[in-house]
């Protein structure tokens, strides 16, 4: 017993002395940057806020207090100057993904977690054609089929019913229900239909139960949403630590719920890959385009473990970031009824009656206001709000005018860029009109000549009594193109951007053509305001819940 106590004391003292000594030695000259609390001494500050599921908020508060450059961990510097994002994530530099991604990969990196540039480039070449325009068009009917099931389920829930005996979600007497899990079940079913031709069937059951296969081949039923969310939170938490401590932490907490959830999510991907390899579908799916056999571009096919890793990434991006974007967009539309009505009227005019409520992407992709609503929702509430960590290499880097030596983790929080008042007037207001081109045919599309709220269209919300048009200055139009980055920037930008826009466009159009939306519980703030919406940041910044009331539109059959 005495030996154990002595060992603990020695470890604590050694760690403390090393931490303090490293801070004052300052070999990388990072003491010049301010830091909150004990962040400069230990990664535990960042881990604490990650554990509380509010990392981006803590970093945002640190920047508000200390300025545009903040040290948020002993070896991690965060930047919010507008030019920093391009400096860190753009093309033409030697900066690589941080070791955090390798820690998250569990030794089996996917395209998203590969830190080596050559490995990433090879993986991206192997996957790029999977997301070509031709492949996306071929997958559209599968998305439409899942959207039809979603509309049916929403109709049932709004009437107080149950989708099946397994449906655990309550509808309150006034018709209020939480739309978030239903959008999550949609995205799980849609991505599994597109990728594996084998959906999880969540929308049919009204619950997120799905099979998970262990490495030994044992199969069990798990809750897909919790597996990803709890597993992702656990994975992110320990990945802040250096590799040795990361491994120790995971070992100590291997029986925690998050650890089993992470294993279950990997098993969900493993089950789909195992099943798909044994059964060739009648029609090609996205999995058909993966190099499971030697090709001219890739002599060595993907191994089973590599397929599992890549498909887990597709399940991540294809379900969670998409459902978060959908939930955020419905929130904004329900909170801003004038915008909702305007978009619906445009859809009714542009989409042929025979295609309502589930239109094709070909019918939707040229509707500018629909794209403006999606992009403004991305700007206001990006699915990933934190700064994605990168690592400087031997050459070092100059970030927003600051010389950063080799081996330093750097990041630029996406939330801060999107909400920078220097880039976007009234950055916290949801105004899709800022994305629309100024057109002389619009009566109010002239530059404001006064700073009063009655005439300065850039600083007030739409008034239903007038023909409102937001005036976007040339500088803001440029900033929207260069500084709204929900799919990120540079060689590591999201490869599934076009697939996401296809799915988001079809779903949002169908939800507006099929139903009228209202925030429940008096949570709406009226036009020009963004009501509070609670988020939970595991890695992605998810909506905790979104209670709504919906009313089916006349003539729509579900």
Q: What is the CATH number of the domain that holds 365?
A: 1.10.630.10
Place of tokens 């070791």: 99
The CA distance from 315 to 64, in Å, is 35
pLDDT tens figures, 200-238: 999 999 999 999 999 999 999 999 999 999 999 999 999
Does residue 267 lie within any of the structural domains?
yes
Stretch 520-547: mean pLDDT? 74
Task: Identify the CA nearest to 269 among candidates 184, 181, 207, 200.
Answer: 200
Higher confidence at residue 129 or residue 266?
A: 266
d(CA 392, CA 296): 34
pLDDT band at 437 (very low <50, low <70, confident <90, very high): confident
Structural domain for 348, as ranges: 131-386+483-552
Same domain? For 332 and 379 the reply is yes
18, part of any domain = no
3 in any annotated domain: no
Q: How far is CA 1 from the centre of its chain?
A: 48
The rounded distance, in Å, linking the Cα atoms of 306 and 298 is 14
| 113 and 205 fall within a common domain | no
In this structure, are 40 and 77 located in the same domain? yes
Is 194's pLDDT higher than 80?
A: yes
**Do residues 43 and 141 both lie within one domain?**
no
- At 466 the pLDDT is 46
Q: What pLDDT digit, counting tens, does each position of 242-291 carry?
A: 999 999 999 999 999 999 999 999 999 999 999 999 988 989 999 999 98
- The pLDDT assigned to 122 comes to 87
pLDDT at residue 6, as a whole number? 67
Asked if residue 462 belongs to a domain, the reply is: yes
Question: Using an 8 Å Cβ cutoff, are 130 and 191 in contact?
Answer: no
Q: Is residue 23 part of a domain?
A: no
Q: What is the pTM (predicted TM-score) of this model? A: 0.90
508, two tokens: 């949002």
Tell me the average pLDDT across 63-75. Answer: 97
pLDDT band at 127 (very low <50, low <70, confident <90, very high): confident
Q: Could you tell me if 257 and 169 lie in one domain?
A: yes
- The band of 454, judged by pLDDT with boundaries at 50, 70 and 90, is very low
Residues 295 and 328 in one domain: yes
Q: Does residue 464 sit within a domain? A: yes
Please indicate, yes or no, whether residues 308 and 397 belong to a single structural domain of this protein. no
Residues with Cβ within 8 Å of residue 193, at least 6 apart in sequence: 142, 143, 145, 146, 199, 285
> How many domains does the chain contain in total?
3
pLDDT at 453 over 50: no
- Same-domain check for residues 320 and 405: no
Q: CB burial class (10 A; 0-12, 13-18, 19+) of residue 375?
A: middle
Q: Does the pLDDT of residue 522 top 50, yes or no?
A: no
Question: Are residues 501 and 411 both part of a single domain?
Answer: no
Q: Is 494 annotated as a binding residue?
A: yes
Separation CA 314–CA 318 (nearest Å): 5
Going by their DSSP bridges, the two strands 76-79 and 409-411 should be labelled as parallel
Residue 12 falls inside a structural domain:
no
- Do residues 168 and 271 both lie within one domain? yes
Considering the domain boundaries, does residue 428 fall inside one?
no
Tell me, yes or no, whether 171 and 284 share the same domain. Answer: yes
CB atoms within 10 A of CB 315: 24
Of 158-162, 293-297, 336-340, 500-504, the range with the lowest mean pLDDT is 293-297
| Whether residues 48 and 120 fall in one domain | yes
């Amino acid at each position: 017993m005495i030996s154990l106590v002595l060992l603990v004391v020695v470890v604590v003292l050694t760690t403390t002395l090393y931490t303090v000594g490293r801070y004052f030695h300052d070999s990388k000259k990072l003491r010049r940057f301010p830091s909150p609390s004990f962040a400069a001494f230990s990664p535990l500050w960042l881990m604490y806020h990650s554990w509380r599921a509010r990392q981006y908020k803590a970093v945002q508060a640190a920047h508000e207090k200390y300025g545009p450059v903040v040290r948020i961990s002993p070896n991690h510097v965060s930047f919010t100057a507008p030019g920093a994002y391009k400096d860190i994530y753009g093309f033409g530099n030697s900066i690589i993904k941080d070791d955090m991604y390798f820690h998250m990969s569990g030794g089996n990196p996917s395209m998203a977690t590969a830190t080596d540039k050559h490995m990433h480039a090879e993986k991206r070449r192997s996957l790029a054609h999977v997301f070509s325009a031709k492949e996306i068009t071929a997958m559209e009917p599968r998305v439409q089929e899942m959207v039809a099931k979603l509309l049916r389920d929403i109709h049932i829930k709004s009437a107080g019913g149950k989708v099946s005996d397994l449906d655990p979600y309550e509808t309150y007497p006034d018709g209020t229900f939480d739309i978030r899990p239903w959008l999550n079940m949609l995205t799980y079913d849609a991505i599994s239909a597109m990728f594996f031709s084998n959906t999880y069937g969540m929308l049919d059951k009204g619950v997120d139960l799905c099979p998970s296969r262990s490495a030994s081949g044992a199969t069990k039923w798990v809750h897909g949403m919790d597996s990803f969310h709890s597993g992702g939170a656990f994975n992110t938490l320990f990945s802040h630590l250096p590799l040795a401590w990361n491994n120790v932490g995971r070992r100590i907490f291997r029986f925690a719920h998050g650890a089993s959830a992470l294993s279950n999510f990997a098993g969900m991907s493993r089950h789909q890959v195992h099943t798909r390899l044994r059964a060739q579908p009648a029609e090609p799916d996205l999995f058909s385009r993966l190099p499971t056999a030697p090709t001219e571009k890739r002599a060595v096919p993907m191994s089973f473990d590599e397929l599992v890793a890549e498909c887990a990434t597709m399940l991540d991006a294809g379900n969670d970031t998409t459902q978060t974007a959908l939930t955020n967009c419905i929130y904004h539309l329900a909170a801003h009824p004038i915008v909702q009505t305007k978009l619906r009227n445009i859809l009714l005019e542009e989409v042929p009656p025979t295609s309502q409520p589930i239109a094709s992407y070909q019918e939707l992709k040229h509707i500018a206001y629909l794209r403006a609503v999606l992009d403004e929702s991305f700007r206001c509430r990006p699915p990933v709000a934190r700064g994605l960590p990168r690592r400087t290499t031997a050459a070092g880097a100059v970030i927003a005018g600051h010389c950063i030596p080799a081996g330093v983790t750097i990041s630029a929080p996406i939330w801060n860029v999107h909400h920078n008042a220097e880039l976007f007037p009234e950055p916290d207001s949801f105004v899709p009109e800022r994305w629309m081109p100024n057109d002389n045919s619009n009566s109010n599309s002239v530059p404001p000549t006064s700073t009063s709220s009655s005439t300065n269209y850039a600083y007030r919300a739409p008034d239903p009594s007038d023909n409102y048009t937001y005036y976007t200055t040339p500088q803001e139009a440029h900033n929207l193109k260069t500084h709204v980055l929900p799919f990120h920037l540079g060689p590591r930008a999201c490869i599934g951007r076009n697939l996401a826009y296809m799915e988001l466009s079809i779903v949002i159009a169908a939800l507006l053509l099929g139903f009228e939306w209202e925030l429940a519980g008096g949570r709406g703030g009226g036009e020009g305001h963004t009501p509070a919406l609670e988020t939970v940041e595991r890695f992605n910044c998810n909506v905790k819940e979104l209670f709504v009331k919906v009313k089916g539109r006349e003539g729509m059959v579900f």
